[in-house]
Amino acid sequence: MQIIIFTSKTMWERAANLKSRWWLCALFLVGMFIVTPLDKFPAQFVSFSVIFPAVFFLTDWNNSSAKKGIVSVTARSDSRKQIETAEWLLPSLAGMVISSLAVFLVSAPPPWQFWVVTPLIAISFSLVFVITEQHLRNAGRTALSLLWLTQLTGSLQKGPVTDLLLFTGYPASVLLYDSNTGSNHSDTYVLASLITVFLTAGIYTLLHRRNF
């Protein structure tokens, strides 16, 4: 547990001291404001707050001197597992907390499905970002950015099936649900979030076992 806390503290200090992270946050917010329809911006901002902590903490973390220093200092056999736990747990918790505060600017109170979908997507995206940083990096970042932009603009959202593929927008979809629009019911996103977290956790575990 101490290693998880120490790793999380190191991740925060590293990211907070990088000006590029704060510029990246500003760039994302400005870009989101430009491309998102005004009526959907508040809900999309909540979705953004769920997934951005992973980008904030994990970008370039895998090969950083900070991580290598922790690995070299911690000599216990279970230290690597605790470091890996902190890598996805910290951004997941941060996404849950920030979005839980931000949602009351949009919906008071939000539907109950939001409280199920949000933690599942926060965990899923953190795991996905860990995987991309370790195995795909630039290609993975590009794919996730395109997925996010597609979700914001709604350029490919032509039906319920397509909406379900854009998992980064599940929290916003729950908040924007309107029975008169023919969109997926909020309960659908609960099930989809469960499937997403099982898939991402399974892929993460499989890749982890193949590397050791």
pLDDT tens for each residue of 93-146: 999 999 999 998 876 788 999 999 999 999 999 999 999 988 888 888 888 888
How far apart are the C-alpha atoms of 172 and 32, rounded to whole Å?
A: 13
Q: Give the tokens for residue 104.
A: 């009351």
How far apart are the C-alpha atoms of 80 and 34, rounded to whole Å?
A: 41
In this prediction, residue 193 carries a pLDDT of 94
What 25-33 contacts at long range (C-beta under 8 Å, 24+ apart), as own/partner pairs, is 25/52, 25/56, 28/52, 28/55, 31/149, 32/152
In this prediction, residue 181 carries a pLDDT of 66
How far apart are the C-alpha atoms of 86 and 52, rounded to whole Å?
A: 16
For residue 77, what pLDDT band results from cuts at 50, 70 and 90? low
176 and 43 in contact (C-beta within 8 Å)?
yes
Burial class (CB in 10 A: 0-12, 13-18, 19+), 114: buried
